[in-house]
Every structure is written in structure tokens, then in C-alpha cells.
Amino acid sequence: MVRQRFEAFAADVFTPLVRSDQRVKGETYLRGLLLDGRRKSMQPMADRLGVDHQGLQQFVTTSTWDTTAVRMRLARRAVDVVGPVAWVVDDTGFPKDGKGSPGVARQYSGTLGKVANCQIGVSVHAVTDTASCPLDWRLFLPTSWDDQAVDDADRPEVAARRARCGIPERERHRPKWSLVVEMLDELAGHELRPPLLAADAGYGDNSQFRGALDERGVGYIMQVKGDALAHKPDVQPVPRVWSGRGRPPTRTDPRYPKTAVSLVEHVHAAGRQAAETITWREGSKGVMSSQFVFLRVRPAGHRVARDADGLLPERWLIAQWPDNEAEPVKYWLSSLPATTGHADLVRYGKIRWRIEHDYRELKTGLGLDHFEGRSWIGWHRHVTLVTAAHLFITELRSDPKAPAPA
């Protein structure tokens, strides 16, 4: 039964591949990822499959097929299977030796918890509390891989490295949040839009990212640091007044008084008595619950865009403040409606744990970080094929009558 389902799955997701030999190799590569074995790089997989590894290598690194078309087909199928309550964005590190792999550099990886020689992949996942699957990927390029961003003396060497990896001219260093926006726009072009977006503070602290989501009408709940500034919701901008000395101000629009304080101060002003006990899900060690404070604030900052009325947008501030802690331990900002229930806010804020579950399974079981090639297109094809393998397993789990894959 599993074999027939696998063959039907492969036939569907590889429909965009116009050549039959490419579809066969795609199915073979998928089978290699799903088979038992510690290493999921091409040579060990070929040995287990009893095929020539050069055929797999050619399919991944030099064959002509469109990863975007396959990935969007996978994304539509994943959304149908998972039925997400949210999309989650994050990034993960791929430790590497040497300097030849595209995007590799000494950089911080949250996955590794330190600065290391690694690549960073940025991904978007469809999630519920019980199922999740990647929808899209980008490989982050540090400035050291952008010959337009380095010193003149370094440009020839960087350009040569880019050429060896086949990095397209249009691919430049961009912040990770910008890569997420690009993926959201690509998915929206295929009529796939998030019910809401969740992220950690690496993304939530960036007001430009939050503004880009506002522009696209994407609701969000994202972790932030407690030192971010915000006004109380009733604070209004006031007219600018010229003292008569020096040059008159060039801006005439009203400005907010200097009343913004940190999120920490907002929560302390509300006090521990404002905290509510909220339960959000059943964990492996029992029911997960804690105490939370819920406030309405207007995040401050010169990069925070105002709404049509000239006001800073009003947002939810959620702070987790356990009874046994002297200070709040986590903070979130959310653009979800003011009528959103407190239990829902906590559930959505906590749901990003699923992306860590995905990364762990993608790496330990399916060889996400086992790709040994040094080409830009090879990396993107490998992560696309690993995503397909993960989706197949997710589909089997969603059907209680289907046996687990061998």
C-alpha cells in the first residue's frame, strides 16, 4: 500500500518535469531519502538504491528542471494536507568545512547556538499543533558572498567564488526578513496566503518586516525583546511647535510626545495582578500552561509606518510572566484584531515550536544538511526534494489507516 501511495505521490509532485527520465530520477532520489541510513548524501544513497550515483548527481546539479514549479506544487499539497492555523518562519544552520559551498561563512546560527562556519537556510512552514511542513526555502547570502557589497580589492575573488557555485547575478546579500517577504510574495502569486504569521525575535524585532506584513495584509504574532519601545494606546500625536529659534522644522505633521517606554515597563505598570493563567496545548510531559499579561500598545520607532489617520498602529502586547519568576520571560507583539481571545493569542504565539520539530526531522531523518555539492542550484534542489520526502511522511501520518514507511 505504501509503495503504491509513494509512486502516486512522486508522479504528482514531479508532473512539472517535462522529461520522463527526470521524473524517474526524482522518484529515485526521494526513495533514497526515505530509506534507512545515516547519510543521505548522493553516494551512500546510490549504494543503498543500487544505482549509479552520477545519475543522481547529474539530476540534482546539472539537469534542467525548475525547482520553483515543483516547490509550489508541494506547497499547495502541503496546505491541503496540514490545514494550517498559521505559517511560521525561521532559519537553520548547516555546518560546513571549507569555504566552497555557496553562502558558507563564519556567522551566527541559532540552531548551533554559536558563531560557526555554516550556511543558513530560511524557510516558511505551514503549521498546526499536530502537523507541519515546509512550503518554501531561501539560502541566505552573507555580504562576503556579494561582490557588489565588498571592498574593491575583494571583488574579483568573491565574483570567482560566485561563478564556481553558479550563483545567479540577481541573487545578492539581503536580510533574512527580506527573503521571507520574497517567499510570501511568491506563494501569494500561487494563491497561497498565511492565515497568520508567527516568528521569533530575530524577525519580530524588525519593524520593517512587521511593516511589510502590514502592507500585505498579513496578520502576525512575533516574539520581541522587552526593551522595544511603545506608547500607551490612548497617546495621540501633537502638533509640532517651532520655538522661533534656528531653522523652522521641515516636517509639519504631528509627532508623538516622548512618552514611549519599554515593553518591560508597560508590563510592570500593569502588575502581576493583571496576569492570567492560560493553557495552550498538551505537551510530552503534560498540560502546558503559564501566566500571561495582555495589553494594547502602539509600538514606537521612526521606521514604524502610521495608518491612514496618522496614528501609530495599535497592537497586542503579550508577556509571559510565570508565578515563579521575578520578571516576565517572553514578549510578543501581534497585529491580530483587538477581539482575539487571550487563549488564542497564546496558542498562536507558542505554535512556532513546530518549526523546530520540522528542522529536527528534516535533518536527522531525511538528510536536509547532508548535501555535499557546491552549487547554488544543487542546494535548492536538494532541500526541495527533502521537503517532498517530509510531505510524503506527513501525508501518511495524516491517514490513520496508512502504515508507517519502512
What integer pLDDT is reported at residue 400 of this predicted model? 55
Q: Residue 22: beta bridge partners? A: none
Residues 112 and 240 in one domain: no
Residues 132 and 241 in one domain: no
Cell of 227: 526593551
- Give domain status of residue 170, yes or no: yes
Q: pLDDT at residue 257 above 60?
A: yes
What integer pLDDT is reported at residue 378 of this predicted model? 95
What integer pLDDT is reported at residue 286 of this predicted model? 84
The tens digit of pLDDT for each residue in 140-175 reads: 999 999 999 999 999 999 999 999 999 999 999 999
In angstroms, rounded to a whole number, what is the distance separating the alpha carbons of residues 167 and 378?
11
Closest CA to 103 of 148, 138, 139: 139
Rounded mean pLDDT of the chain?
93
335 with 213: CB under 8 angstroms? yes
Residues 191 and 214 in one domain: no
Residues 339 and 360 in one domain: no
- Give domain status of residue 346, yes or no: yes
What integer pLDDT is reported at residue 361 of this predicted model? 94
357 with 397: CB under 8 angstroms? no
Q: Quick count: other Cβ atoms within 10 Å of Cβ 160?
A: 11
Of 351, 369, 387, which one is at a domain's C-terminal end?
351
Res. 405 pLDDT band, cuts 50 70 90: very low
Residues 342 and 362 in one domain: no
- Give domain status of residue 404, yes or no: no
The 3 state secondary structure assigned to the chain is CHHHHHHHHHHHHCCCCCCHHHHHHHHHHHHHHHCCCCCCCHHHHHHHHCCCHHHHHHHHHCCCCCHHHHHHHHHHHHHHHHCCCEEEEEEEEEECCCCCCCCCEEEEECCCCEEEEEEEEEEEEEECCCCEEEEEEEECCCHHHCCCCCCHHHHHHHHHHHHHHCCCCCCCCCCHHHHHHHHHHHHHCCCCCCCCEEECHHHHCCHHHHHHHHHCCCCEEEEECCCCEEECCCCCCECCCCCCCCCCCCCCCCECCCCCEEHHHHHHHHCHHHCEEEEEEEECCEEEEEEEEEEEEEECCCCCCCCCCCCCCCEEEEEECCCCCCCCCEEEEECCCCCCCHHHHHHHHHCCHHHHHHHHHHHHCCCHHHCCCCCHHHHHHHHHHHHHHHHHHHHHHHCCCCCCCC
Q: How many CA atoms lie within 13 A of 96 on its CB side?
A: 25
180 with 89: CB under 8 angstroms? yes
Residues 287 and 301 in one domain: yes
Res. 404 pLDDT band, cuts 50 70 90: very low
Q: Is 254 helix (H, G, I), strand (E, B) or coil?
A: coil
The tens digit of pLDDT for each residue in 75-121 reads: 999 999 999 999 999 999 999 988 899 999 999 988 788 899 999 99
Residues 10 and 120 in one domain: yes
For the segment 67-71, the average pLDDT, to the nearest whole number, is 95
The tens digit of pLDDT for each residue in 202-231 reads: 999 999 999 999 999 999 999 999 999 999
Residues 51 and 132 in one domain: yes
- Give domain status of residue 405, yes or no: no
293 with 275: CB under 8 angstroms? yes
Residues 194 and 217 in one domain: no
In angstroms, rounded to a whole number, what is the distance separating the alpha carbons of residues 3 and 22?
19
What integer pLDDT is reported at residue 399 of this predicted model? 78
Cell of 157: 575573488
- Give domain status of residue 248, yes or no: yes
For the segment 374-401, the average pLDDT, to the nearest whole number, is 92
Q: φ, ψ for residue 310 (rounded to 5)?
A: 80, 15
Residues 104 and 171 in one domain: yes
- Give domain status of residue 406, yes or no: no
The tens digit of pLDDT for each residue in 350-381 reads: 999 999 999 999 999 999 999 998 999 999 99
Res. 290 pLDDT band, cuts 50 70 90: very high
| pTM for this prediction | 0.92
- Give domain status of residue 387, yes or no: yes
The tens digit of pLDDT for each residue in 23-40 reads: 999 999 999 999 998 899
In angstroms, rounded to a whole number, what is the distance separating the alpha carbons of residues 385 and 24?
13
Place of cell 497568520: 196
State how many domains the chain has: 2
Domain assignment of residue 280, given as a range: 203-351
Residues 91 and 63 in one domain: yes
Q: Quick count: other Cβ atoms within 10 Å of Cβ 247?
A: 6
- Give domain status of residue 403, yes or no: no
198 with 221: CB under 8 angstroms? yes
In angstroms, rounded to a whole number, what is the distance separating the alpha carbons of residues 303 and 301?
5
Residues 334 and 382 in one domain: no
